[in-house]
Structure 1
């Protein structure tokens, strides 16, 4: 028994030493950034420490806001300190209370591959990079701050940039057309909740690997580019490791509104494909070309001014799980092909001008929430409590609005042209003119013969003295 007790005591001592060792290493890894000694110890004149640094993991700071990047303050040299970490590859400072502006020397960190400053209180414009800048960024997260200015030109020429998330800031202006060629490896483009204006550039369709496009809650106008139907990664999703950095276990992630809820995708991010253009002022029809993107898993076009009807071939989106077309000006019938979308489990067509009978099918019958079709006065059938009558089916106004005026114009033009052609032929050809005149005279003579008895009768009545 004594031997067992000694063995048990030795085991406890070993476990205690292991816990103590692990806790000391964790304490060393989680040093608070507001201590100047951290930067002084790592940034000697010989830069011996900076050459060995490869990863700076995310650090959660508590208390008051902390200016970690502004190199112009007299009490903190952290901005210039970070710029001297020339071998730094991953820097994650997200979800803190950090303030300040990005220093101009920031892009001297040419080994930096992953930069995440999201969910802080940074402000100012993104500094431009020098012409000699060698961009090695693969993932850039600046969302949830107070950055201003136009679309950051610093990403132009970043040939390896796969993720660009600058949502929830105060960027403004147009999306530059060079985005289609300046960042050729882009897979995720998230610009949601900014002040971008103008039309969506069709050059975005030149990004062969783009799988997630988030432009929601801006001020975009004009039509949805038909060229989006050429987005090859959304036609045939590329199953690869999005944002996984070479030689590390660091996984990229993105914040997505998925089925009405805010969800952070990380491990299965490479499987997600979708477009979110909601909350803008887009107009005209939904392009039929979007139905070519058979790899889409979600499509959100709600809260716009889209008109015409729902594309007839929307049923070809076989893997689509979430579709939101609410709060638009859509009209016409719901395409019957929608009932064959076997993966669809979230649908919202409310607040439009749709009409006709709601299609039935194995998948649509599982979506028995009447609010899906609310505020469409012309719709009938389950799950609504409005029975369908034998009235004429709803007309799809996608083509009617465009074709009817032209039909009227063509009819009027044909009548005018035919009339003047007939008159011109009569005036220009003597034989035809004489024939027409003889025909008119003959008709007049026959009419007069028919009217002669009536004329005689009327004359006799006037001359009769007994009347």
Structure 2
């Protein structure tokens, strides 16, 4: 009875009548009230979906038969201690996201070792992430983003089936663990955005061959960008596409400046976002080998040096943000090959020289290039210094200025008129003066003219 506009609470006797039910789906209604202790009821639910309702109160224990439990988008509150009384060894899909749950994550995950999907995002959970999550060896999706979790990330190196790890928008700290790369080789999404991680980006992350989305933005990371990123073969063309039929759920990402929730189309995306950190050094030339990359955001860091010459090799790029760094030099001519760019921001760097000409680059707003004092050309400025222009040098008196304006292209000057007059005088008197002074030449000239007249008549 999903999306059936039910707005009344569930009667207590309903649970006593449900002993033969296997699937209960009352999602997307407006059902209020609290849930009783269902572990004491004679329930045989395996699929239990009450998501998108108005249920509140603490989470009770559930029947041991449950395998799918979806309670997202309600108003459940309080700690998860009662939920740990649930003894459901076959539970593989648990979605408690978008509620008001608080307190620390429980340490009872060893009793749910068959969990595939764990989603507790968008709550008020706090404290450290329990190391007991490491018992979930079959977990594919781990979503704990938008909470208040703190401390260092515990070891999950035994969770080798993980495809999505989303821990964004918490208060996690410490260094990014080096075990992530060698252990989580099937990882598609690694999102640690908006936390307090510090230190350098470990080169062990380059051992993630299937990674599609890397988001470390808004942390305190420092050091250089690892030059081994092309080892992440999902970003390069060094190996054929690996098909992964695992469900990845939904992941929120900033795409072209807008927060968008990606589902199955996430597998088509290739994105790196390490913006708003303290990274420094040059952008390595190896970045230009990420031929499948669609979105790259390195903005608001301390990158220096020049842009790699072969940036134009990234022909699949649709979004590129390198703004607010200290990058110098010119924009490589190869930028003209980035024909699919829908978002480009190179503002507030130390770039100089002419913006390369292309249909794509000149279509962007001037604000995407502003803050580069030495940069010139469309769309930032009409021309560059040294270009041939129609402007004329100023002269001391107004008549001279008017005269230059009348001369059109600025090439006709006073010297031109002097040369013209001298040439006329010399040429005229060279011919006519000879005829005046030499009688025989004058007679010959007039005889020649008379002969021409006679022949015409």
Whether TM-score is above 0.5 comes out as: yes
Higher mean alpha-carbon deviation, 264-273 vs 137-146, is at 264-273
Provide Cα deviations, 1:83-112, integer angstroms capped at 9, x if missing partner: x22211111111111112121112320111
Structure 1 residue 388 and structure 2 residue 384: aligned?
A: yes
What residue in structure 1 maps to residue 145 of structure 2?
Answer: 143
Q: How does 1:172-321 map to 2 (within 5 A)?
A: 172-236=173-237, 238=241, 240-241=243-244, 243-244=246-247, 252-321=249-318
Task: Note if contact 2:206-2:231 (Cα within 8 Å) is conserved in structure 1.
Answer: yes
Task: Note if contact 2:38-2:63 (Cα within 8 Å) is conserved in structure 1.
Answer: no
Task: Note if contact 1:239-1:271 (Cα within 8 Å) is conserved in structure 2.
Answer: no
What residue in structure 2 maps to residue 118 of structure 1?
Answer: 121
What residue in structure 1 maps to residue 17 of structure 2?
Answer: none
- For the residue of structure 1 that corresponds to 2:276, the secondary structure is coil
Q: How does 1:364-379 map to 2 (within 5 A)?
A: 364-367=361-364, 369-379=365-375
Structure 1 residue 80 and structure 2 residue 76: aligned?
A: no
What residue in structure 1 maps to residue 441 of structure 2?
Answer: none
Distance 1:27 1:158, change over 3 A: closer
Provide Cα deviations, 1:271-312, integer angstroms capped at 9, x if missing partner: 001100000000000011011110001000000000001111
Higher mean alpha-carbon deviation, 381-390 vs 194-203, is at 381-390
TM norm structure 1: 0.70
Task: Note if contact 2:109-2:136 (Cα within 8 Å) is conserved in structure 1.
Answer: no
Task: Note if contact 1:86-1:109 (Cα within 8 Å) is conserved in structure 2.
Answer: yes
Structure 2 unmatched ranges of 5 or more: 11-23, 45-61, 388-457
Structure 1 residue 92 and structure 2 residue 88: aligned?
A: no
Shift of 1:136: 1.0
What residue in structure 1 maps to residue 40 of structure 2?
Answer: 40
Distance 1:35 1:130, change over 3 A: closer
- Quote the Cα distance in structure 2 between the aligned partners of 1:216 and 1:28: 34
- Structure holding more strand per residue: 2
Distance 1:332 1:130, change over 3 A: closer
Shift of 1:35: 2.5
Shift of 1:387: 2.3
- Quote the Cα distance in structure 2 between the aligned partners of 1:320 and 1:20: 44
- For the residue of structure 1 that corresponds to 2:41, the secondary structure is helix
- Quote the Cα distance in structure 2 between the aligned partners of 1:213 and 1:238: 18
What residue in structure 1 maps to residue 422 of structure 2?
Answer: none
Distance 1:275 1:320, change over 3 A: same
- Structure holding more helix per residue: 1
Provide Cα deviations, 1:233-280, integer angstroms capped at 9, x if missing partner: 111483634641xxxxxx511111111111111131110011000000
Distance 1:292 1:130, change over 3 A: closer
- Quote the Cα distance in structure 2 between the aligned partners of 1:298 and 1:185: 21
Structure 1 residue 353 and structure 2 residue 350: aligned?
A: yes
- For the residue of structure 2 that corresponds to 1:91, the secondary structure is strand
Shift of 1:26: 4.7
Shift of 1:135: 1.2
Task: Note if contact 2:65-2:88 (Cα within 8 Å) is conserved in structure 1.
Answer: no
Distance 1:129 1:364, change over 3 A: same
TM norm structure 2: 0.72
Task: Note if contact 1:34-1:66 (Cα within 8 Å) is conserved in structure 2.
Answer: no
Q: CA RMSD in A?
A: 2.8
